Structure 1
Amino acid sequence: MMAPTVTGFVTNFFKKQVPICFRYQRYATLKRFYRRTDIVQNDKKWEVTLDHRKLKTPNGKVLTVHAEPLARAIAAEWDAQTETIAQPTMHLTALCNTALDNPGKINSHDITSYLLDYLTTDTLLFYSDENEELKALQEEKWSPILEWFQSRFGVTQKVSNDLEPPPVSVETKAQLARYFLSYDFAALSAMSFGAEALKSPILMLACVDRVLEPKEAVMLARLEEEYQLMHWGRVPWAHELNQAELTARVSAALLVIHCSSERHSAATKKNPREQTT
Structure 2
Amino acid sequence: MSVITTVAREILRSRCTNCLLYRTYATRKRFYRNTGIVQNDSKWEVTLDHRRLKTPNGSVLLVNSEPLARAIAAEWDAQSEAISQPTMHLTALCNTALDNPGKLTSHDIVTYLLEYFPTDTLLFYNEEERELRILQEKKWGPILNWFQKTFDVTQDVSSGFEPPPMHTETRAILARYLLAFDFAALNAISFGVEALKSPILMLACINRRLEPKEAVMLARLEEEYQLSRWGRVPWAHELNQAELTARVAASLLVVHCSSEIHTSKVKSSPQQEITQ
Shared fold, TM over 0.5: yes
CA distance in 2, matches of 1:102, 1:70: 19
Equivalent residue for 2:44?
46
Q: CA deviation at 1:205?
A: 0.1
Q: Look up the equivalent residue of 1:118 and give its one-letter code.
A: Y
Which amino acid counterpart does residue 252 of structure 1 have in structure 2?
Answer: A
**1:11-58, Cα deviation, whole Å (9 max, x unpaired):** xxxxxxxxxxxxxxxx93211101110001111110000000000001
Q: Aligned partners of 2:267 and 2:203: how far apart in 1?
A: 24
Counterpart-to-counterpart distance in 2, 1:168 and 1:268? 31
Correspondences of 1:70-85 after superposition (within 5 Å): 70-85=68-83
Where has structure 1 moved over 3 Å in runs of 4 or more? Answer: none
Q: Displacement of 1:143 after TM fit?
A: 0.3
5+ long unaligned stretches in structure 2: 1-24
TM-score after normalising by structure 1: 0.90
> Residue 258 of structure 1 corresponds to which residue in structure 2?
256
CA deviation string 1:166-209 (max 9, x = no partner): 11111110000000000000000000000000000000000000
Aligned length: 251
Counterpart amino acid of 1:248? A
Structure 1 partner of 2:15:
none
CA-CA distance at 1:221 after TM superposition: 0.1
Could you tell me how far apart the structure 2 residues matched to 1:112 and 1:29 are? 35
Shift of 1:236: 1.0
Check conservation: 1:208, 1:257, Cα contact below 8 A: yes
* Residues 128, 161 of structure 1: 8 Å contact kept: no
- 1:166 to 2:168 alignment: no
CA distance in 1 between counterparts of 2:127 and 2:43 reads 51
Residues 65-144 of structure 1 correspond to what in structure 2 (within 5 A)?
65-144=63-142
Kept in 2: contact 1:122–1:200 (CA 8 A)? yes
Match in the other structure for 2:6: none
Q: How big is the shift at 1:270?
A: 1.0
CA-to-partner distance for each residue in 1:67-98, whole Å, 9 max, x for gaps?
A: 10000000010011111111111000000001
Deviation at 1:162, TM superposition (A): 1.8
Q: TM-score, normalised by structure 2?
A: 0.90
Match of 1:213 in 2: 211
CA shift for structure 1 position 161: 3.2
Given that 1:187 and 1:260 are in contact with CA atoms closer than 8 Å, whether structure 2 keeps it comes out as yes
For 2:258 and 2:152, locate their aligned partners in 1 and report how far apart those are by CA, in whole Å: 25
**For structure 1, which runs of at least 5 residues remain unmatched after alignment?**
1-26
